[in-house]
Structures are given as structure tokens and as C-alpha cells.
Structure 1
Amino acid sequence: MKHEAVSHLITDKNGIYIDATLGYGGHTRQILADTTEDSQVYAIDKDIEAIEFNQKELIKREEVYP
């Protein structure tokens, strides 16, 4: 389901994308998977637990910064 939802949003594999509901990062990870290293993906959330979880999980990718 994530791939289907995200595939409709990706209009440019080198584009800039914002995930304003980061949650546990599922859609953000799918956006990262479906775009190139030249894209920019910004993910935000008001839930500090979600942010802390993703800082541990997404930071494993060298191109992801907290």
C-alpha cells in the first residue's frame, strides 16, 4: 500500500518532497527508495517519539541527516 500511495506522489525522481506526517517513517523510506540521491526529502512530525525513532533508523543511510 505504501508503494502505491507514494508512486502517485513522485512526479520527479530528482525532486523535493516533504512528508509532514513522519510517524514511524514508512512513507519516508518509500519516498527515499523511489527517488534518486539527487532528490531532497524532508520529514517532520510533532511527535518527539517518532522523531527520536527515525533519527535512529533513518540516520543509518549516509545521505540522511538529523
Structure 2
Amino acid sequence: MDQISKVANVEGLSARDILDAFDIWLSERVGEARAAGMDLAFHDSEFDIAPGREPPLVGWRHMLLAPGACPP
């Protein structure tokens, strides 16, 4: 949580803003994976902030995998 707080302070976002953005992002990715019948792998990346985009903050990358496959 300390790392989230530092990032939030630098960008003027609260930890709640970051967690809310992650919730939206992850829900969309899970829906995408389920619709495709695939597994989901994701990891942190650099934060990309674009006011007006929904969510305005993205700091994660993902890939869809064949069911049961190991992520690279």
C-alpha cells in the first residue's frame, strides 16, 4: 500500500482512485477472458493517466491464455 500511496501522491490521485480504476480494468478483462473461454494473466506496468478516459488510470497489462496454459 505504501507504493500505491507514493504513486497516488505524485499524480494527485488517492489510493481509492487507483483501486477503483483497477476494479474497472480487471472487471473488463475478466469479462473479455470469459467471453473468449480463455484464462487471464496480468501484471503491473507504468501508470498511464488520461483524464476523460474510463478508467482515467491504467497501470496494468494483460494477456489471454489457452485454458491451463502457463503465462510466459
Q: TM-score, normalised by structure 2?
A: 0.22
Larger RCO: 1 or 2 (CA < 8 Å, sep 6+): 1
Greater helix share, 1 or 2? 2
Higher strand fraction: Structure 1 or Structure 2?
A: 2
**What TM-score do you get using the length of structure 1 for normalisation?**
0.23
